[in-house]
Amino acid sequence: MASMDDDTPETQPDPRSPTAAMLVIGDELLSGRTRDANAYHLAQWLDARGVALREVRMVPDEKDAIIAGVRALKSQADMLFTSGGIGPTHDDITAEAVAEALGVDISVREDALGILEEWYAAKGEEVTDARRRMARVPEGAALIDNSVSGAPGFVVEDVFVLAGVPAIFSAMLDAADDRIARGPQTSVYTVIGEGGESTVADGLIALEEAFSGLKIGSYPGKTGQGGPLCIVCRSFDEKVARQAALAVEGLFRAQGVEPEIVEGYGPMRD
Amino acid sequence: MASMDDDTPETQPDPRSPTAAMLVIGDELLSGRTRDANAYHLAQWLDARGVALREVRMVPDEKDAIIAGVRALKSQADMLFTSGGIGPTHDDITAEAVAEALGVDISVREDALGILEEWYAAKGEEVTDARRRMARVPEGAALIDNSVSGAPGFVVEDVFVLAGVPAIFSAMLDAADDRIARGPQTSVYTVIGEGGESTVADGLIALEEAFSGLKIGSYPGKTGQGGPLCIVCRSFDEKVARQAALAVEGLFRAQGVEPEIVEGYGPMRD
């Protein structure tokens, strides 16, 4: 795992940022039954920690697809997060697939089994064969606490294997917080004005070139018809982001539009 | 493009289903600024047409990442849908990247430019240099109508290049409907009962093995704490899906739970 002190000259967005990728696992996402919530949550959670999420992949509950995803994404990022497929049913094959992708053994671990026994005993229930599956953990993994439903997640070789149910995914992520590398905070200013994207488009290219270490994103309203246009200026250097926002303000004014500058991403689009 | 009549013995989920993949493009999704809506919409839209969505990838506004995504996904599925990066601003690089991924030229096309001229003329506006970028289309592409904001999408070699703004993405998808291969409908029944997943887990494996062409998914409530448990039975054979649902009903009853069977996916999780 990269740390804040590492010299990591090869990562892409900024040499100082630890990178992450995500593998979202589940037939229900690809059939349209369920709208994924975990990628959105993870993106915000990592952004707040200065970690650059580089790619998200969504694959079905198929061993080959999961193995291919784990291998490809692990090679591209410092940390990989998986979501889904670690419950007690037959379609929960993530733990096995991750173990196979990494070439390590997997078996029922006593510490994981102990957690399950204690959790279900408190409810007056047994650890059935199906539940026992949730104690299968790859060799070398550290368990991740699950305060919502007992059965733990785990992390092995910087692959964080978390549940798919959003409340559990989120709780496990928080439980793993002290294992996550931190990077420098990105400063973000958003300039919000009326108009279509082409209102300020011509000026943005020159602007991004003029400021070193600046990233500008242009986001029209949800309908694509009017609504506020958001120009997002991001930089590791707070001054650069702020000065770029002032320059974008100037682009709007040159078109007769009086924009607003806010810190952060401005109105989110959900 | 595969059609309903094709013999396509190599596709994975079912030999008769055309397959699709999706590439979602945008820094704003990976930073957590925006929650993607298009993958969820496309998944439902394709499911209704009997097309199996096999994988979704989310990548940043970077040419290399887009090119790698297009090449990898195109080789895995009959159709590829991209979302995002075809607007007028400097961060809109999808059309160029797709052309490069496919090894075809790209230039401003007269028909696309004509559409833009007519659209903006109706609003008393000009086609600026920035807007002119939206008329850049890869060689061999067919245009896809954009009833929301004028600038067209396009399809080239079964790669459908669509806008990222949800209202425009959706409109373009509908405009491309007659170019989409159809597959057989999946029959879906969902058995809804109270209890945790392990209530019926032990019986599901045997069930999936007993019915040929049956897929069963097990989905706990959103919180992971009680709430309705949904067991989804899917098959191309309506009888198989229905009989499996009745068998799942029996698994619930054996646990003293009286479940409900509904056609379709039951309560969606958003």
pLDDT of residue B11: 36
- Token code pair at residue B250: 């029996």
Residues in B touching A47 (Cβ below 8 Å): 31-32
Q: Are A222 and B163 in contact (CB under 8 A)?
A: no
Interface pTM, i.e. ipTM = 0.90
In A39-58, the residues whose Cβ lies within 8 Å of chain B are 39-47, 52-58
CA dihedral of residues A141, A96, A45, B217 (deg, nearest 10): -150
- Residue B6: band (very low, low, confident or very high) from pLDDT cuts 50, 70, 90: very low
pLDDT in tens, A141-184: 999 999 999 999 999 999 999 999 999 999 999 999 999 999 99
Query: B33 and A232: CB-CB below 8 Å?
Result: yes
Q: Which of A90, A146, A233 to mutate to test the interface with B (most CBs of B within 10 A)?
A: A90
Can you give the pTM of this predicted structure? 0.90
| Cα separations in angstroms, B66 against A20, A43, A100, B48, B216 | 17, 19, 28, 28, 34
Q: Distance (Å, rounded) from C-alpha A208 to C-alpha B163? A: 23
Higher pLDDT, B39 or A208: B39
Query: B224 and A149: CB-CB below 8 Å?
Result: yes
In B210-269, the residues whose Cβ lies within 8 Å of chain A are 215-225, 232, 234, 265, 268-269
In A133-152, the residues whose Cβ lies within 8 Å of chain B are 148-149
Domains along chain A with CATH numbers: 19-179 (3.40.980.10), 187-263 (3.30.70.1130)
- SS3 of B85-127: the string is CCCCCCCCCHHHHHHHHHCCCEEECHHHHHHHHHHHHHCCCCC
Q: Distance (Å, rounded) from C-alpha A127 to C-alpha B247? A: 24
Q: What is the pLDDT averaged over residues A29-45?
A: 96
- Residue B220: band (very low, low, confident or very high) from pLDDT cuts 50, 70, 90: confident
CA dihedral of residues B94, B97, B101, B106 (deg, nearest 10): 100
Q: Is B156 helix (H, G, I), strand (E, B) or coil?
A: strand
Q: Residue A224 carries which side chain, given as an amino acid letter?
A: G
Q: What is the pLDDT averaged over residues A190-211?
A: 85
Q: What is the pLDDT averaged over residues B212-237?
A: 83
Q: Is B240 helix (H, G, I), strand (E, B) or coil?
A: helix
Burial of residue B113 (number of CB atoms within 10 Å: 0-12, 13-18, 19+) = middle
Under the phi-then-psi rule, with left for phi > 0, alpha for psi from -120 to 50, and beta for the rest, what region is B226? left
Query: B35 and A270: CB-CB below 8 Å?
Result: yes
Residue A205 predicted with pLDDT over 90: no
Burial of residue B256 (number of CB atoms within 10 Å: 0-12, 13-18, 19+) = exposed
